[in-house]
Amino acid sequence: MCQNSRPITSGEPKILQRDQSQANKAQADQSFDGLAQKFAQNIYGTGKGRIRAAVVWQDLLTCLAQLPQRPLRILDAGGGFGFFSQQLAALGHQVVLCDLSADMLDEAARQLAEQGLSDRVRLIHCAIQDLPAQLEGEFDLILCHAVLEWLSAPRDTLLSLLGFLAPEGILSLMFYNRQALLFQSLVVGNFDYIRAGLVKQRKQKLTPSNPQEPEAVYGWLTDAGMTLLGKTGVRVIHDYMRHKTDQVTKFDDLLAMEQRYCRQEPFVSLGRYVHVMARRPTAAAWPPSAATQNNTDNQSSTKRA
């Protein structure tokens, strides 16, 4: 098993490797090895990616304003090539970026070196579930973006991640919205897909396999003692436009409207992704009581049954 690394001080970021036992634990979860360039282009090299970047960054700036005004310790869990890690490091914060894909971290190392940010970002090649063996201490801000929908046990993984959050720290959690997927399928008349439980017959590598119910995710957080600070829909208009060419020819107006309506209902709940921000209470109020946790476990078991 890898030992915790020393802070990186110069050169390209060193990537901590995980051993085979760690790989076996996360074998059911999605890795994007071999797809790093395609992933980067599809996610952030398109109009829908520009919307995602603009809307989420606006939220992150709001989060930063509510945290101590000093260099923060930030964890980007399952952060791929570190799109937001790079921006946060450029603001002077110290970031730990972990991902299941070695290819994604190689791309992160390359981009960080190009920007001269290698000394501010530590890269760890491991699943989120394996972080306790790799990390110590707490973080002021934790990012977990577009990860839950690729996991076989999203709730358990999320709860384990909360253990790294410092008192009064903030979680930035974005997930693929099952309700939005259902609504779009209804609008386009994809009724067979709906009858099949929104499960595709053939899996597509860049299509999430486990979209999440927003109310369930909110419940996981509140039952864990977290205080919800805000909810934002990501792509509340783009995916529903009747004429797809308008996504390009009217992009500036589209982006402005996305930013205008993304934090209002019913639009939040129609976002292809939902970005929820939550704060951990003070140390005196953490962790939640055993009774609360047992209630959460019982509810989860009932839902699975």
Per-residue model confidence (pLDDT) at position 200? 80
The yes-or-no verdict on residue 203 having pLDDT over 70 is: no
Q: What is the pLDDT of residues 238-277, one digit of tens each?
A: 999 999 999 999 999 999 999 999 999 999 999 999 999 9
**181 neighbors 271 (Cβ within 8 angstroms):** no
Cα angle, residue 186 at apex, residues 208 and 204 outer, rounded to 5°? 25
Per-residue model confidence (pLDDT) at position 39? 65
Match 């939640």 to its residue by tokens.
288
The yes-or-no verdict on residue 207 having pLDDT over 60 is: yes
Per-residue model confidence (pLDDT) at position 199? 87
Q: What is the pLDDT of residues 7-58, one digit of tens each?
A: 333 344 555 554 444 444 444 565 555 666 666 676 778 999 999 999 999 9
Taking the whole predicted model, whether its pTM rises above 0.85 is answered as no
Q: How far apart are CA 225 and CA 168, in angstroms?
A: 11
By C-alpha distance, which of 133, 29, 115 is closest to 78?
Answer: 29
Cα four-point dihedral sign 216, 217, 221, 224: positive
- Structure tokens belonging to residue 300: 């989860």
DSSP string across the chain: -PPPPPPP-SSSPPEEPP-HHHHHHTTTS---TT-HHHHHHHHHSSHHHHHHHHHHHHHHHHHHHTS-SSPPEEEEET-TTTHHHHHHHHTT-EEEEEES-HHHHHHHHHHHHHHT-GGGEEEEES-GGGGGGT--S-EEEEEEES-GGG-SSHHHHHHHHHTTEEEEEEEEEEEEBHHHHHHHHHHTT-HHHHHTTS--SS--TTS-SS-B-HHHHHHHHHHTT-EEEEEEEESSSGGG-SSTTHHHHTHHHHHHHHHHHTTSTTHHHH-SEEEEEEE---GGG-SPPHHHHHHHHHHHHHHH-
Mean pLDDT lowest among 172-176, 199-203, 274-278? 199-203
